[in-house]
Amino acid sequence: MNPAELLANVVVDELIRCGVRHVVLSPGSRSAPLAYAVEQAERQSRLQLHIRVDERSAAFLALGLAKVTRVPAAIIMTSGTAVANLHPAVLEADHAGVPLIVVSADRPAALRGTGANQTTTQPGMFGGSVRYEFDLPAPAGQVSEMPLWRSTVCRGYAAATGSLSALAGPAHLNIGLADPLSPAQPGVKLPSDFAGRPESKPWVAVPPSAALAPSGTQNPQGESRTLLVVGDLPDAADFARVVSHAAQAGWPIIAEPFGAGARGEVLPHGSLLLANESLLEAHPPSRVVTVGRLTLSRDIATLTRRSDIRVEHVSATDTWADPGHVVERVTALNSWLAVEPAPVDGAWAQAWRSAGDRLARRLADSTALPGDESPTGVDIAGATRDAVPEGGILVVGSSNAARDLDYARAPHTEAVSVIGNRGLAGIDGTTSTAVGIALSTKAPTTLLVGDLTFLHDINGLLIGPAETRPDLTIVVLNDDGGGIFGTLEYGAVRNDSFQRLFATPTGANLSALCAGYGARHQIVDTVADLASTLAQEAAGIRVIEIAVDPAHHRQRRADLRTAAQLG
């Protein structure tokens, strides 16, 4: 083996020993030794390889592969701007706590700053967004280098999984590779001197972190009117643990739509309940405990800024979410779960539950709200979620789709996981993330997005004929542009300036685009048609498009908030 081939095979072998099972590769010349190494590993059934030609989509595919499984996926690409295209996904992985390993091929360090083709300073490219970074120099192929290569991979894997800290996230291994890049004889085994630990063990065994071990600290007493508010958590499975823990004490629970299980314990239409001023005046909480990242409701932010409410935060990461600077106390998630919660004021809690039940019944009555037969985003979101089978996953795009789901009626079943990229809540790479989730979990997966989010990652549909294709249903709520801006202050007046600066209609033909990418496309006109189409079993990727009048977003939400005020 030449030195580049040797280093590439050792790195891939150690990634597999650590636990990596999915690798995403974007083609390039400098990364050729790594490409040959992962292909050989796939032939040996040691990992599954996914090829994507767009590095940004590839990175979000890797993020999706790791998001639910919590097992790091690796992404490999060539040098130069190819690496920079990963930055949005690295940022999302950082803020959302998703384990991700970036393996970037690089020219030899001596070529940096010389004007050499496709050469820039790749170490440090992701700034403080990575948990660990190491710049491996181009190898000489000496036996003495092998321990460094293997231990570096182990350090990156440990950092990505959060083994030595509280929070998983991205790690960056920059691999210098010098010519020759093509193997003299593909498929040759590693020399015995470069083999790893016996029994396929990793070079370094890193135990799980003890950073969040239970502290035994008791929750404050006398806080009998405690309201729990749950946002997005790095691990969707933690949602049920959090909700069940608080439900034991009878706390009223408001939750954003993300997470898995335990929805029956959550107040229906919780975000709308917080718009009920009479409820808050008659039955205010004395303490609000927030868990995870809360990114959807301005009413939650308004509640936590009240001077008569004590705000505490339960953190599943190594920091805490507090954009309003109102949190008085922070507790690690595991510590909080280990302590019995304070008992609740039964009459106060029942008042909140009764208000939630009344609102749910009112909104279930189709005559309670004004409107016509035109579909609205809220109704589409509810119908899409209800169509996901038990054990399935609903991936929700940022922007309007997530907020429509938050306003939608209570779910029919708890056995559906709702996942979103809420680390930075961008629309980047959403389709690729959903593809990764579908491929890694094998669960029935549905994606709900707006048309701009869909167009922003249209290359997520670009899957080569030799690649594994997921079973994925994509529901595109087409309001022809940035419909969310119509619900914000900019949309109060829908004049020409608003249309050009914010609404940004594209007029894109989604059917023609899907045909070009080889994805099946269907248009439905009503929510009932959408529900019946979703009920049909489908294999592969299918796109279901339903049009929405963007002017309806603002009015629909205003009508819902009015209904919430009725008590």
Residue-wise pLDDT for 363-399, tens only, equals: 887 555 555 568 899 999 999 999 999 999 999 999 8
Examine the domain organization and report whether 359 and 390 are in the same domain. no
Examine the domain organization and report whether 314 and 408 are in the same domain. no
Whether residue 207 lies inside any domain: the answer is: no
Residue tagged 């954003």 (tokens): 256
Question: Are 284 and 308 within 8 A, CB to CB?
Answer: yes
Examine the domain organization and report whether 418 and 494 are in the same domain. yes
Residue tagged 């291994």 (tokens): 173
Whether residue 262 lies inside any domain: the answer is: yes
The answer to whether the Cα torsion of 5, 8, 11, 16 is positive or negative is: negative
Tokens of residue 232, six digits: 């997005």
Examine the domain organization and report whether 359 and 284 are in the same domain. yes
Last residue of a domain, one of 155, 181, 207: 181
CATH code for position 484: 3.40.50.970
Domain count, the chain: 3
Examine the domain organization and report whether 476 and 548 are in the same domain. yes
Q: Is the peptide bond before 180 cis (omega within 30 degrees of 0)?
A: yes
Q: For the residues of 156-188, what is the DSSP string, one character each?
A: HHHHHHTTTSS---EEEEEEE--S--S-SSTTP
pLDDT at 216 over 50: no
Per cent of the chain over pLDDT 90 is: 67
The answer to whether the Cα torsion of 433, 436, 440, 442 is positive or negative is: positive
Q: Are strands 416-419 and 259-260 parallel, antiparallel or unpaired?
A: antiparallel
Last residue of a domain, one of 346, 364, 382: 364
pLDDT of 373 reads 63
Q: What is the pLDDT of residues 61-113, one digit of tens each?
A: 999 999 999 999 999 999 999 999 999 999 999 999 999 999 999 999 888 88
Average pLDDT score, the chain: 90
Q: Rounded CA gap, 528 and 103, in Å?
A: 46
pLDDT of 210 reads 39
Examine the domain organization and report whether 359 and 384 are in the same domain. no
How much is the average pLDDT of 139-167? 89
Whether residue 565 lies inside any domain: the answer is: no
Residue 315, beta-bridge partner list: 332
Q: Rounded CA gap, 166 and 163, in Å?
A: 7
Examine the domain organization and report whether 410 and 462 are in the same domain. yes
Tell me the pTM. 0.88
pLDDT of 368 reads 52
Examine the domain organization and report whether 282 and 378 are in the same domain. no
Comparing 67-71, 143-147, 215-219, 318-322, the range with the smallest average pLDDT is 215-219
Provide the 3-class DSSP secondary structure of residue 255: strand
Cα–Cα–Cα angle for 259, 375, 449, nearest 5°? 40
Examine the domain organization and report whether 330 and 233 are in the same domain. yes
Tokens of residue 164, six digits: 């030595």
Domain that holds residue 359: 226-364
Examine the domain organization and report whether 159 and 260 are in the same domain. no
Whether residue 193 lies inside any domain: the answer is: no
Whether residue 220 lies inside any domain: the answer is: no
Q: What is the pLDDT of residues 484-500, one digit of tens each?
A: 887 777 778 777 887 87
pLDDT at 215 over 50: no
CB atoms under 10 Å from CB of 265, counted, come to 18
Confidence at 217, pLDDT banded by 50, 70, 90: very low
Whether residue 197 lies inside any domain: the answer is: no
Whether residue 199 lies inside any domain: the answer is: no
Comparing 38-52, 325-339, 447-461, the range with the smallest average pLDDT is 325-339
pLDDT at 413 over 80: no
For the chain, how many residues are written?
567
Q: What is the pLDDT of residues 521-552, one digit of tens each?
A: 999 999 999 999 999 988 999 999 999 988 88
Residue tagged 């597999």 (tokens): 16
Cα dist from 356 to 278, 351, 362, 409, 566, whole Å: 13, 9, 10, 11, 12
How much is the average pLDDT of 271-298? 92
Write down the H helix ranges in 208-269: 238-248
How much is the average pLDDT of 431-457? 96
Residue 396, beta-bridge partner list: 448
CATH code for position 286: 3.40.50.1220
Examine the domain organization and report whether 174 and 262 are in the same domain. no
Examine the domain organization and report whether 237 and 338 are in the same domain. yes
How much is the average pLDDT of 422-447? 95
Which secondary structure element, helix H or strand E, spans residue 279, and what is its range?
A: helix 277-282
Last residue of a domain, one of 312, 339, 364: 364
CB atoms under 10 Å from CB of 477, counted, come to 29
Whether residue 514 lies inside any domain: the answer is: yes
